[in-house]
Amino acid sequence: MSNIHKDYEGAKLGMWLFLFTEILLFGGMFLLYAIYLAKFPSEFHKGGDELDVVIGGVNTVVLLISSFFVAISITAIRLGNKKACLRYVYITIACSLIFLVNKFFEWKAKFSHGIYPDSEHLKELSQGENIFYGLYFLMTGLHGLHVIIGAVVLGFAVYFIQRDKINKEDFVFLENGGLYWHLVDLIWIFLFPLFYLVL
Amino acid sequence: MDNAVKAQPNFFEEKRGILSWIFTTDHKRIGLMYLYLVLAFFIVGVVLGLLIRMELIAPGETIMKAQSYNAVFTLHGVIMIFIVVIPSIPAAFGNILLPIHIGAEDVAFPRLNLLSWWLYVIGTVFALISLFTGQGPPDTGWTFYVPFSEFTTTNVSVAVFGVFILGFSSILTGLNFITTIHRLRAPGMNWTRIPLFAWSLYATAWIQVLATPILGITVLLVMAERILGVGLFDPAKGGDPILYQHLFWIYSHPAVYIMILPAMGVISEIIPVFARKHIFGYKMIAFSSLAIAFAGSLVWAHHMFTSGMSDTAVLIFSFLTFIVAIPSAIKVFNWTATLYKGSISVRTPLLYALSFIFLFSVGGLAGLLLGSAGTDVHLHDTYFVVSHFHYVIFGGTGFGLFAAMHFWFPKIYGRMYNERIANIAWLILFVGFNVLYFPLYVIGLQGMPRRYYDYLPQYTGGHFISTVGSWIVAVGLLIMFVNIFHGMRKGPKVGRNPWGGATLEWFVPSPPPLLNFEEEPEVTRSPYNYKGVEPDE
């Protein structure tokens, strides 16, 4: 008798529940965003104008592409094509790095203009702009943290694929990793218009 | 075959040594490790509580300075809420019993279960570190209300990080239980044959999964505010402290149902066994757990009637709060109806269960006064509130935990405690409890504000009686724990089913073997059908 059992449906159910908790975690921030947007509409508009739509747009495209590749990596492993699967996961991780590098330059530019939490420059601006940038740094920062976690999870997936722990029959780890990655992508899809395109 | 099966070692004997415990994936061992830590911290919390009562025995400074008093009641709250009460029944007894109840070998994710326990330990360690590092222990109260928690120089950041980790642990336990109940029920265990304790854990698990992330983001924001100074809750920078209160209570009000629902589940198990009668209204009790979980998630702002909300919001939240009373009352009436014309045997677990019903009702009815906006304005932040939640949380969850400890004791250890002493301990505890908390209702009504270090002389009488009560409670607890501890090691051995219960755990050996069942169970009857079930001593 062994109590190490494999339950594909159970593993998926658990992952979906976990994704709910992630959505709720960000939900708290979205709630704050909604309320402060109602309180400071014109300041949020002004703040949105200051952000670089090009970098944000590029990052959105990068994440969408990465989501595509993580999805086809699962198809590849189901077809038993280990090599292709690995290649697609590598591309996904590369996309996460591109995203983070872009983010780094974007934040760096803001920092060089004296825009960072609790900075002297922000204190001179209006309260609404302070809140806008505060939310911007907290939400994109939290999202960036999730990008890193997702990339680490996919890194583990690479390790398991190489050792055939993830294979044609047992790929639920990769599939759950992929689900997590889609969530990271999905959250960005909401963050992008809220901050960069806000009217 | 039969003999070979009988020779299975129980889960205590399976492996030995401390490492075989702290790296175990066996749900029973993990549950016990939770239980021991919870009880250890319960004792710490009780000692802090006794210190608070000691300080308040007379007006003015008695045994400590005001700053220490603030730290002590904050710690009492943080330890009791986050480290003791929230994990007490779901994480400890839920882990020990849920898989056996539904006929499974273990929970759905045994390793994740171990991770939850480790996170619980790590979170607790962070909470403890906050006491001894930085510039003194947190003095904000367990609610960490802004703006004070943003600007106090005490060690709030570390404490809230500990709370964040504890929340993570709670989420993973809930996620594990939901998956377990959905995927691992034994053949024949359909949804209307699940024991009510498992039903209550199911409802609890949903709250844990859906509410705790909000606490996570809230305490992360407190940390961000303290470290980065963003100003989301700081009016000077455009933020709004009321928003913090909303976010905090969106979790923390449902959290009281994480505390009370499993205790109600325990009571639902105990009452029919000792009335030897099928539980009255099985489906309504199961359904009311889910109804409490659902309605309880919509009432958070009744903590904020006096914080400055629109009258409409106050009205709506007041109304929703009253709705929670309906499923709670359904449970109480069904328990009483189960006892009616039952063949009652008054044993220790039943005494705790009955006192649960009494204390929970007293606390719950007081809750109605706090839930209606008019009376709340008078009673808000007085000792009436302190008394109310101690009746519900200590009298409810605490007595539920003690009931569970006495009820499942013979199953876990295969031995029995001394029932005479257990009954005496119960009596002292029950009397002491009422002496301790009832006077607080009275002085609360008279206007004694909560959290205060000093008070006017007219409240001296109430505080004095209450402090004496706290000593009686301490004596009762001491006798109870000594009796339990003695029973663990030296108590007489008992058979599988000393109470004559009909749920699955009473048909496996005591203590159960590693994988719970000698052969895979097949469920053909209701868990409360006592026909043909005889107690075996």
pLDDT one-digit tens code per residue, B403-438: 999 999 999 999 999 999 999 999 999 999 999 999
Asked if B527 is an interface residue toward chain A (Cβ–Cβ < 8 A), one would say: no
∠ CA B444-B449-B454, rounded to 5°: 120
Contacts of B221 in chain A (CB under 8 A): 28, 138
> Using one digit for the tens of pLDDT, what is the confidence trace for A52-105?
899 999 999 999 999 999 999 999 999 999 999 999 999 999 999 999 999 999
Rg (alpha carbons) of chain A, rounded to whole number: 19
Residue B519 — very low, low, confident or very high, per pLDDT cuts 50/70/90? confident
Asked if B308 is an interface residue toward chain A (Cβ–Cβ < 8 A), one would say: no
- Residue A155 pLDDT: 96
Residue A2 — very low, low, confident or very high, per pLDDT cuts 50/70/90? very low
- Tally A–B CB contacts below 8 A: 108
CA nearest neighbour of B40 among B83, B99, B96, B98? B83
Residue B6 — very low, low, confident or very high, per pLDDT cuts 50/70/90? low
> Using one digit for the tens of pLDDT, what is the confidence trace for B368-398?
999 998 899 999 999 999 999 999 999 999 9
Q: To the nearest whole angstrom, how far is the Cα of A126 from the nearest Cα of chain B? A: 8
8 Å CB contact of A24 and B221: no
Residue A199 — very low, low, confident or very high, per pLDDT cuts 50/70/90? low
Please report, for residues A120, B40, B82, the alpha-carbon distance to residue B45 in angstroms, rounded to integers and kept in the order given: 44, 9, 11
8 Å CB contact of A118 and B214: no
Cβ proximity of B69 and B55 under 8 Å: yes
Average pLDDT over residues B136-140: 87
Asked if A126 is an interface residue toward chain B (Cβ–Cβ < 8 A), one would say: yes
Bridge partners, B382 (sequence order) = B449
Contacts of A127 in chain B (CB under 8 A): 237-238
Reply yes or no on whether the pLDDT at A3 is more than 70: no
Asked if A34 is an interface residue toward chain B (Cβ–Cβ < 8 A), one would say: no
8 Å CB contact of A1 and B110: no
8 Å CB contact of A13 and B183: yes
Beta strands in B189-258 (DSSP E): none
Best residue of B217, B240, B249, B250 to probe chain A, by most A CBs closer than 10 Å: B217
CA nearest neighbour of B300 among B257, B249, B258? B249
Length of chain B: 537
Cβ proximity of B492 and B238 under 8 Å: no
Q: Taking the CA of residue A120 as centre, how many other CA atoms within 13 Å lie in the half-sphere pointing to its CB?
A: 1
8 Å CB contact of A26 and B214: no
State both tokens at B305.
Answer: 């009637």
DSSP letters spanning B261-283: HHHHHHHHHHHHHHHTSPPTTHH
Cβ proximity of A177 and A70 under 8 Å: yes
Which of B179, B250, B514 has the CB atom closest to A14's CB atom?
Answer: B179
Amino acid at B54: M
Asked if A140 is an interface residue toward chain B (Cβ–Cβ < 8 A), one would say: no
> Using one digit for the tens of pLDDT, what is the confidence trace for B37-79?
999 999 999 999 999 999 999 998 999 999 999 999 999 999 9
Cis peptide before B511 (omega within 30 of 0): yes
Contacts of A32 in chain B (CB under 8 A): 232, 243, 247
SS3 state of residue B415:
strand
**How many DSSP H helices and E strands does chain A contain?**
7, 0
CA dist B142 and B123 (Å) reads 15
Please report, for residues B362, B468, B469, the alpha-carbon distance to residue B472 in angstroms, rounded to integers and kept in the order given: 20, 7, 5
- Residue B2 pLDDT: 44
CA dist B55 and A162 (Å) reads 64
Window from A184-193, B15-24, B80-89, B165-174 with minimum mean pLDDT: B15-24
CA dist A67 and A179 (Å) reads 9
SS3 state of residue B412:
helix
Residue B10 — very low, low, confident or very high, per pLDDT cuts 50/70/90? confident
- Residue B526 pLDDT: 87
CA dist B537 and B534 (Å) reads 10
Contacts of A36 in chain B (CB under 8 A): 238
Reply yes or no on whether the pLDDT at B3 is more than 50: no
Chain B residue with minimum CA distance to A123: B237
Which of A27, A134, A142 has the CB atom closest to B232's CB atom?
Answer: A134
Mean pLDDT score across all residues of chain B: 92
- Residue B412 pLDDT: 93
CA dist A6 and A167 (Å) reads 14
CA nearest neighbour of B134 among B232, B226, B215? B226
Residue B476 — very low, low, confident or very high, per pLDDT cuts 50/70/90? very high
- Residue B40 pLDDT: 95
Contacts of A9 in chain B (CB under 8 A): 183
Residue A1 — very low, low, confident or very high, per pLDDT cuts 50/70/90? very low
Asked if B240 is an interface residue toward chain A (Cβ–Cβ < 8 A), one would say: yes
- Residue B537 pLDDT: 65
Which of A13, A31, A127 has the CB atom closest to B179's CB atom?
Answer: A13
Reply yes or no on whether the pLDDT at B14 is more than 90: no
CA dist A60 and A198 (Å) reads 15
For tokens 């998926």, the residue is: A12
Reply yes or no on whether the pLDDT at B4 is more than 70: no
Which of A10, A39, A118 has the CB atom closest to B183's CB atom?
Answer: A10
Contacts of B229 in chain A (CB under 8 A): 117-118
Cis peptide before B147 (omega within 30 of 0): yes
Reply yes or no on whether the pLDDT at B34 is more than 80: yes
Reply yes or no on whether the pLDDT at B323 is more than 50: yes
8 Å CB contact of A25 and B25: no
Amino acid at B197: F
Number of neighbouring beta carbons within 10 Å of residue A76:
22
Reply yes or no on whether the pLDDT at B260 is more than 70: yes
Chain B residue with minimum CA distance to A15: B175
For tokens 């658990």, the residue is: A14
State both tokens at B362.
Answer: 């007293």
End-to-end CA distance of chain B: 26
Amino acid at A131: I
- How far, rounded to the nearest angstrom, does the alpha carbon of residue B393 sit from its chain's CA centroid? 7
CA dist B249 and B260 (Å) reads 16
Q: To the nearest whole angstrom, how far is the Cα of B212 from the nearest Cα of chain A? A: 8
Window from A87-96, A144-153, B245-254 with minimum mean pLDDT: B245-254
Residue B298 — very low, low, confident or very high, per pLDDT cuts 50/70/90? very high
- Residue A5 pLDDT: 61
Residue B108 — very low, low, confident or very high, per pLDDT cuts 50/70/90? very high
Q: To the nearest whole angstrom, how far is the Cα of B31 from the nearest Cα of chain A? A: 17
Number of neighbouring beta carbons within 10 Å of residue B14:
16
- Residue B515 pLDDT: 85
CA dist A153 and B77 (Å) reads 36
CA dist B506 and B408 (Å) reads 9
> Using one digit for the tens of pLDDT, what is the confidence trace for B524-536?
888 898 888 888 7
